[in-house]
Amino acid sequence: MTVTPTSRSITKAILSKEQAEGAGARVRRSIGRPELRNHDPFLMLDEFNVDKNGGFPDHPHRGFETVTYMLEGQFQHEDFAGHKGTIGPGDLQWMTAGRGIVHSEMPVKSQTRAHGLQLWINLPREHKMCEPQYQELLDGQIPRANPAEGVVVKVIAGESHGVKSQVYTRTPTMYLDFKVAKNKTVIQTIPKTFTGFIYMLKGTAFIGDKEFEGKAHHTLTFSEDGAETVKITTKDEDAHFVFIAGEPLKEPIVQHGPFVMNTTEDIYRTFIDYQSNQNGFERAKNWRSTIAG
């Protein structure tokens, strides 16, 4: 008989230092860095900081989803189908790239800094070539749970303390933004089979029965022991972190930059599709965004 512990524990704590990415942008890479590769179903998590001279000009995606969650400043987006918009603090863009998106992601020029998180979630084989879809929510449209005084959970995807997100997840995913005042304990449930992690934005939190200490800009990965809760405690500091978990796809991953497929053959086909503007990349022909300057 093996005993299932009550709370998941922390198996790794990795600090993300800033590195250059895109065009003059700075990111702290969490998932996707060498020590945190293939955290199935997650491909990448970047905490980005972009000033008015930087950004992520015209680039493609296929085979996964990008989830952009703004913390500070304003960010603009424009794609090859004419889909365009601006997201500000607390707003969310859940983009299913599916068979193909070409777009540009840039800060609003008058702003000094755009700061946020971008998560890449892999898609299961049967959804990789789906029609692209956007699910966009303003801060005020994202439901909150308030499990105790001083504890606010924004439910971006999945469920927390009886509050459910309406975001459709093709890969079962939980994405929760926790703000926890000092000297609190909160218990978050998590399905047995989900992998997951916490990425600390501010302050200090103590995770699991052994109270593993997590500090800002660290990724804390959960044990995969079937425990159905994560116990989180704060002490003499308030904490802000995201809690991200999902059902592993357990499929082969062949990634070439912004293209993520199951086989090398599908990656070769993707290069051809992108170069010859077909199978989802039709509108890439002669397209240039108006926001990348």
Residues within the interface to ligand FJE (CB under 6 A): 21-22, 27, 46, 48, 56, 59, 68, 105, 118, 257-258
Cβ distance to ligand FJE smaller for residue 21 or 228: 21
Cβ distance to ligand FJE smaller for residue 58 or 218: 58
Give Cβ neighbours of residue 278 (< 8 Å, ≥ 6 apart): 272
Give Cβ neighbours of residue 26 (< 8 Å, ≥ 6 apart): 18, 19, 20, 48, 49, 50, 54
* Three-class secondary structure of residue 191 per DSSP: coil
Give Cβ neighbours of residue 286 (< 8 Å, ≥ 6 apart): none
Tokens found for residue 45: 């998590």
103 among the known binding-site residues? yes
Q: How far is the CB of 31 from ligand FJE (least distance, A)?
A: 11
Tokens found for residue 99: 């068979």
Q: How far is the CB of 259 from ligand FJE (least distance, A)?
A: 8
Q: Is 55 left (phi over 0), alpha (psi -120 to 50) or beta?
A: left
Where b means 16+ CB within 10 Å and e means fewer, 193-204 reads: ebbbbbbbbebb
Q: How far is the CB of 135 from ligand FJE (least distance, A)?
A: 16
Cα separation, 86 vs 107, in Å, equals 9
Q: How far is the CB of 59 from ligand FJE (least distance, A)?
A: 5
Contact 60, 290 (CB under 8 A): no
Which of 131, 118, 57 shows the shortest CA–CA distance to 87? 118
Cβ distance to ligand FJE smaller for residue 27 or 207: 27
Contact 64, 253 (CB under 8 A): no
Cβ distance to ligand FJE smaller for residue 69 or 178: 69
Q: How far is the CB of 122 from ligand FJE (least distance, A)?
A: 14
61 among the known binding-site residues? yes
Cβ distance to ligand FJE smaller for residue 101 or 157: 101
Cβ distance to ligand FJE smaller for residue 25 or 155: 25
Q: How far is the CB of 284 from ligand FJE (least distance, A)?
A: 15
Binding residues for Fe cation: 59, 61, 103, 105
Binding residues: 59, 61, 103, 105
